[in-house]
């Protein structure tokens, strides 16, 4: 340790020094248990020895508020911890300005008396206490405002229910008002008179104090604004919740509650006027030739099945499914080939023989199956299409004993003038 200077030694000689240090150390020694007590609201006596307990009680740290009550921390200690840890829940806003001002008054008077007497040491002492007192006062304002800010910034997050939040804000508003009242009590004219012509006093009591107070006022004003806003928001939320709860309770109790026929009133309220949807649809515009290229592009981009679905698919129903697939593909192919045959016929003016075509294209179909499919396709054509074609069956009688005719070939041609063009 460094060599103690005069100020320090004089402070150490003060009897308070030893006592205060002892008490502080006592708190430090039992910090764990005391903090436990702070959080729980009462102290667990079993965690202390009898001796320690006595010391703590005598040291004005613990007390028993009532015979039946458990031991707890003294309010001052509670407040000390709250102040140190900025625990806003327990931190008290103490802005009792009147008392401060009274003390300042007395102190100034003592100071002036000491000066008149020429007691330099005493006046120095009074000046020091006076400075402390003024700083205490503004410091308390500062603390109080800081505490309000802190609570604002956490949006009263430590209380969960809306009702409690509103109560908290009301509390904060009351505290705020008390601080403002405190400001009003400070009468600067009086302080100017009190300071008289003493420069140091004037500076301390008037200019410094004024600067701090106006700073605090600005801060307070902002707090006030924010509090009002928050309050409005919470009230709004509360009102909504109440509205929802009460309306549903009402509707539950009055199942036959009828609402007026607002849509048919002469004055339809805005909240009801909600137009129903129009589902917008667009179609291809074929009347604009300039779009044809884009439309063609679009049409080409449409994904489609490679093999067009034909009716023949239906004809395969009833087969065993394993065979069905194979048959279906073959059937499709056959139908497609026949279709090509028809197209071939359309492109040529002369009637075409089915058997010749089969040979020419080297298709693998059995002739009988092939001819059957052609006939089936022809018969299956819609009536008006059918009339454009002419089918001639080249058949021979199988046996002289019955009338069974076997078709050996078919000739398909376009009908233009009531018969085969070539024939016609």
Residues 144, 219: contact at Cβ < 8 Å? no
Min dist. Cβ of residue 176 to other proteins (A): 24
Tell me if 264 contacts other proteins by CB under 8 A: yes
Instruction: Compare residues 272 and 302 and give the one whose CB is closer to other proteins.
Output: 272
Instruction: Compare residues 50 and 161 and give the one whose CB is closer to other proteins.
Output: 161
Residues 375, 391: contact at Cβ < 8 Å? yes
Q: Which among 116-124, 134-142, 270-278, 383-391 is the span making contact with other proteins, rule CB under 8 A? A: 270-278
* Closest to 73 measured CA to CA, from 125, 35, 99, 102: 35
Q: Mark 199-238 with x for binding to other proteins (rule: CB under 8 A) and - for no binding.
A: --------------------------------------xx
Instruction: Compare residues 243 and 296 and give the one whose CB is closer to other proteins.
Output: 243
Of the candidate residues 84, 271, 302, 306, the single one contacting other proteins (CB under 8 A): 271
Using only C-alpha atoms, the chain has a radius of gyration, in whole angstroms, of 53
Alpha carbon distance 136, 142 (integer Å): 10
Element (H, E) at 116: helix 97-117
Q: What are phi and psi of 6, to 5 degrees?
A: -60, -50
Contacts for 338 with CB less than 8 Å, ≥ 6 apart: 370, 373, 374, 377
Of the candidate residues 184, 276, 304, 403, the single one contacting other proteins (CB under 8 A): 276
User: Where are any strands of DSSP class E within 266-422?
Assistant: 352-353, 389-397, 405-414
Tell me if 406 contacts other proteins by CB under 8 A: no
Total residues interacting with other proteins, rule: CB under 8 A:
38
Tell me if 252 contacts other proteins by CB under 8 A: yes
Instruction: Compare residues 93 and 166 and give the one whose CB is closer to other proteins.
Output: 166
DSSP 2-25: PPP-HHHHHHHHSHHHHHHHHHHH
Instruction: Compare residues 169 and 335 and give the one whose CB is closer to other proteins.
Output: 169
Of the candidate residues 28, 157, 263, 303, the single one contacting other proteins (CB under 8 A): 263
Alpha carbon 277 to its chain's center: 28
C-alpha torsion angle, residues 312, 315, 317, 321 (rounded to 10): -50
Min dist. Cβ of residue 281 to other proteins (A): 11
Residues 238, 166: contact at Cβ < 8 Å? yes
Q: Which among 37-45, 274-282, 338-346, 384-392 is the span making contact with other proteins, rule CB under 8 A? A: 274-282
Q: Which residue has the tokens 């120095």?
A: 124
Alpha carbon distance 220, 175 (integer Å): 11
Q: In what order do the strands lie in the sheet with 352-353?
A: 352-353, 405-414, 389-397
By CB under 8 A, the residues from 104 to 163 that bind other proteins are 160-163
Q: Which among 271-279, 286-294, 315-323, 344-352 is the span making contact with other proteins, rule CB under 8 A? A: 271-279
Of the candidate residues 16, 84, 121, 275, the single one contacting other proteins (CB under 8 A): 275
Q: Does residue 407 sit in helix, strand or coil? A: strand
Of the candidate residues 16, 84, 280, 285, the single one contacting other proteins (CB under 8 A): 280
Min dist. Cβ of residue 233 to other proteins (A): 9
Q: What residues form DSSP beta bridges with 352?
A: 412
Of the candidate residues 11, 39, 171, 244, the single one contacting other proteins (CB under 8 A): 244
Tell me if 382 contacts other proteins by CB under 8 A: no
Min dist. Cβ of residue 245 to other proteins (A): 6
Alpha carbon 13 to its chain's center: 63
Q: Mark 161-180 with x for binding to other proteins (rule: CB under 8 A) and - for no binding.
A: xxx-----------------
Q: Which among 57-65, 86-94, 253-261, 362-370 is the span making contact with other proteins, rule CB under 8 A? A: 253-261
Instruction: Compare residues 211 and 247 and give the one whose CB is closer to other proteins.
Output: 247
Instruction: Compare residues 268 and 422 and give the one whose CB is closer to other proteins.
Output: 268
Tell me if 285 contacts other proteins by CB under 8 A: no
Q: What residues form DSSP beta bridges with 353?
A: 411
Instruction: Compare residues 241 and 423 and give the one whose CB is closer to other proteins.
Output: 241
Angle among Cα 256, 260, 265 to the nearest 5 degrees reads 160
Residues 179, 145: contact at Cβ < 8 Å? yes
Of the candidate residues 84, 272, 285, 286, the single one contacting other proteins (CB under 8 A): 272
Q: Site residues (CB under 8 A) for other proteins? A: 160-163, 237-238, 240-241, 243-253, 259-264, 268-280
């Amino acid at each position: 340790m460094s060599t103690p200077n005069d100020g320090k030694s004089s402070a150490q000689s003060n009897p308070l020094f030893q006592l205060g240090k002892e008490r502080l150390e006592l708190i430090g020694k039992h910090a764990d248990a005391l903090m436990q007590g702070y959080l729980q609201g009462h102290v667990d006596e079993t965690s202390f020895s009898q001796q320690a307990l006595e010391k703590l009680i005598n040291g004005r740290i613990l007390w028993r508020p009532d015979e039946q009550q458990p031991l707890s921390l003294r309010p001052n200690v509670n407040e000390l911890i709250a102040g140190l840890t900025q625990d806003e829940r327990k931190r008290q806003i103490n802005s009792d300005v009147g008392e401060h001002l009274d003390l300042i008054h007395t102190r100034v008077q003592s100071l002036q008396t000491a000066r008149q007497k020429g007691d330099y040491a005493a006046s120095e002492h009074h000046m020091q206490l006076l400075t402390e007192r003024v700083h205490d006062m503004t410091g308390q304002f500062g603390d109080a405002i800081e505490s309000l800010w802190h609570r604002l910034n956490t949006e009263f997050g430590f209380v969960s229910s809306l009702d409690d939040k509103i109560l908290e804000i009301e509390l904060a508003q009351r505290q705020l008002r008390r601080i403002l009242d405190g400001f009003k009590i400070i009468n600067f004219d009086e302080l100017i008179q009190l300071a008289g012509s003493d420069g140091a006093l004037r500076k301390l009591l008037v200019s410094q104090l004024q600067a701090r107070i106006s700073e605090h006022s600005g801060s307070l004003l902002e707090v006030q604004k924010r509090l009002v806003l928050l309050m409005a928001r919470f009230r709004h939320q509360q009102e909504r919740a109440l509205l929802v709860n009460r309306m549903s309770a009402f509707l539950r109790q009055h199942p036959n509650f009828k609402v007026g026929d607002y849509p048919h009133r002469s004055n339809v309220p805005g909240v009801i006027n909600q137009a129903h949807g129009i589902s917008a649809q667009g179609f291809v515009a074929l009347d604009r030739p300039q779009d044809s290229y884009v439309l063609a592009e679009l049409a080409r981009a449409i994904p489609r099945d490679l093999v067009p679905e034909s009716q023949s698919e239906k004809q395969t129903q009833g087969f065993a499914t394993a065979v069905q697939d194979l048959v279906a593909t073959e059937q499709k192919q056959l139908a497609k080939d026949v279709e090509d045959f028809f197209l071939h016929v359309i492109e040529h003016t002369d009637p075409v023989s089915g058997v010749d075509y089969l040979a020419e294209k080297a298709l693998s179909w059995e002739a009988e199956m092939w001819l059957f499919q052609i006939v089936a396709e022809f018969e299956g054509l819609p009536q008006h299409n059918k009339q454009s074609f002419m089918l001639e069956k080249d058949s021979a009688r199988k046996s002289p004993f019955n009338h069974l005719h076997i078709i050996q070939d078919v000739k398909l041609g376009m009908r233009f003038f009531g018969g085969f063009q070539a024939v016609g």
